Amino acid sequence: MQAIRFYNCNNLTLSNLTHVDSPRNHISINHCKDASISNLHIIAPKDSPNTDGIDIGSSTNVLINNTTMETGNYNTHSFNSRVSDDQYEYLLLLYLILIVLNFILYLIQMQFLIILITIINVFL
């Protein structure tokens, strides 16, 4: 159970709110694109169990600025960051592509060395 849930939104803007004492998640953002969250103040007692400030899942390009969360899970944190679940998948894919390209470059270098050695042996 969450107090506020945004699902499948595009260009979501959420700003200038104070949210106090949610029984569980304060704000959930799922399957959203291009969300801008700013100037929020989320408060729950320090002994509150599982009172996540903002839960983000399966969303892309979520920007959080000037937001403070004082909840049981986070104590006090201020956020000024870009958050994206899909970002890790893209970085992993990029890393794998770089590994493959590096391997191809290695094979090309080895082939070049073999050709060079063959040419040298022909002239010797």
Mean pLDDT by 10 residues, the chain (124 residues): 84 91 82 90 77 80 84 55 60 81 85 84 80
Report the pLDDT value the prediction gives residue 16, as an integer from 0 to 100.
94
Report the pLDDT value the prediction gives residue 74, as an integer from 0 to 100.
53
pTM given for the model: 0.59
Q: In which element (H, E) is residue 113 found?
A: helix 85-123
What six digits make up the tokens of 71? 């909840």
Domain ranges in the chain? 1-83, 86-124
Report the pLDDT value the prediction gives residue 49, as an integer from 0 to 100.
67
C-alpha span between 24 and 46 (Å, rounded): 13
